[in-house]
Amino acid sequence: MIIQIDGISGTGKTTAAEELIKRGYAALDADEAFGYYGNPETGEPTYEQTQHNWIWDLNKVKSLAKSSEDTTIFVCGGAMNQDRVRGVFDKRFTLVVDDDTMRHRLMTRTNNDFGKHPDDLARQLEWNKGATEYATSIGAIVIDATKPIEQVVDNILAESGIK
């Protein structure tokens, strides 16, 4: 089974992956495993490093899905072209937070500088307005990620039917 944990920057995807690994589950940071800057339509790499050009290597995602038939793997992250492989995920979760939590997390995190620039922060806050509605429209299970990470992961595991 392959499960995606998605969300806007600062919602806790990387932290969720770390907590799942700590508990002994197979989880990966999709940014590290599949991500690169490229054209979302063609997949061709680009030097233009904008959020709109952050995409996944779709062949790697499909390969992982094929190899996960006998195990559960959590893929934590998202990309501009992820809808092209939506069907490989058995379940999809979207982490959501309020604007104040997002702002605080983006401005204080130490593992990534994305979101600290005023333009990036403004864009994330704008996208946050429609995050829950979009998640439900694609059939994702919405998870309140303002809770402690242990509770967030407990909720994901429960909704996944995993003990």
Query: How much of the chain exceeds pLDDT 70, in percent?
Result: 99
List all residues 6 or more positions away from 20 whose beta carbon is below 8 Å from its beta carbon: 26, 27, 74, 76, 153
Task: Judge whether 56 and 34 are in contact, CB under 8 Å.
Answer: yes
Whole-angstrom distance, CA of residue 37 vs CA of residue 48: 7
Confidence (pLDDT) at 10: 86
Residue 163, judged by CB atoms within 10 A of its CB (0-12, 13-18, 19+), counts as exposed
pTM for the full predicted model: 0.89
Q: How far apart are CA 162 and CA 60, in angstroms?
A: 25
Average pLDDT over residues 107-117: 76
Q: Which domains does the chain have, with CATH numbers?
A: 2-160 (3.40.50.300)
Count of alpha carbons within 13 angstroms of residue 106, beta-carbon side: 24
